[in-house]
């Protein structure tokens, strides 16, 4: 509890972080545990919205807006279309999990333990300074159009290829 009383930590920011983080972890657990595919997609919306809120807490406004537009706006609609086009039954399904799904719990727990140990060991006591202002979008565009120009153009081709590939794959011939 002494962590909350430290003067160098913004208490309101931390409380907001923990509330959103708890919501996100619960939503993520429901995504991987619910028996209804549509419910899983809607819980995924909760998680993605929480991620956008965390971006705003981390002074990344542009990324947060991109997250809302791309993930919640576009990707989730794609997912819902994918669910509706591939499912015969509406409602709960009993065979959403593999037969050996239990093996995933120790694997995920081990992975989490290793990562938590590494993070606590390296960053356990370090505190991020309060950002003076959100990251200005001009700083992002400077990186995008200067040293990041070639990856940016490559990314445009990736998106073009993905769009064409999706049309070719999904069209009836």
Partner 1 sequence: MYAANFLLLGAVLFSIGVFGVIARRNAVMVLMSIELILNAVNINLIAFALMNDSAEGHVFALYVIAVAAAEVGVGLAMVLMIYRNRRSIALDELSEMRG
Footprint on residues 127-156 left by partner 1 (CB under 8 A): 127-131, 135, 139-140, 142-144, 148, 151, 155
10 Å CB burial of residue 53 (0-12, 13-18, 19+) is buried
Cβ-contact 59, 134 below 8 angstroms: yes
Using CB under 8 A as the binding rule, whether residue 111 contacts partner 1 is answered as: yes
Nearest distance in Å: CB 114, partner 1? 9
Instruction: Determine the size of the site formed for partner 1 (CB under 8 A).
Output: 89
Cβ-contact 43, 34 below 8 angstroms: yes
Cα–chain center distance at 14 = 19
Using CB under 8 A as the binding rule, whether residue 65 contacts partner 1 is answered as: no
Q: Which of 29, 92, 149, 153 binds partner 1 (CB under 8 A)?
A: 29
Using CB under 8 A as the binding rule, whether residue 55 contacts partner 1 is answered as: yes
Nearest distance in Å: CB 148, partner 1? 5
Using CB under 8 A as the binding rule, whether residue 12 contacts partner 1 is answered as: no
C-alpha span between 18 and 114 (Å, rounded): 22
């Amino acid at each position: 509890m002494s962590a909350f009383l430290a003067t160098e930590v913004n208490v309101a920011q931390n409380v907001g972080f923990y509330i959103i983080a708890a919501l996100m972890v619960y939503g993520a657990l429901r995504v991987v545990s619910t028996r209804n595919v549509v419910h899983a997609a809607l819980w995924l919306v909760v998680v993605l919205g929480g991620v956008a809120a965390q971006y705003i807490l981390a002074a990344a406004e542009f990324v947060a807006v991109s997250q809302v537009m791309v993930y919640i706006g576009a990707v989730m609609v794609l997912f819902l279309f994918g669910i509706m086009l591939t499912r015969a039954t509406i409602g709960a399904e009993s065979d959403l999990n593999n037969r050996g799904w239990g093996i995933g719990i120790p694997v995920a727990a081990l992975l989490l333990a290793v990562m938590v140990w590494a993070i606590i060991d390296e960053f356990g006591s370090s505190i991020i300074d309060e950002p003076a202002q959100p990251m200005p979008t001009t700083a992002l565009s400077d990186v995008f159009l200067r040293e990041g120009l070639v990856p940016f153009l490559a990314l445009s081709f990736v998106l073009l290829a993905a769009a064409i590939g999706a049309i070719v794959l999904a069209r009836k011939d």
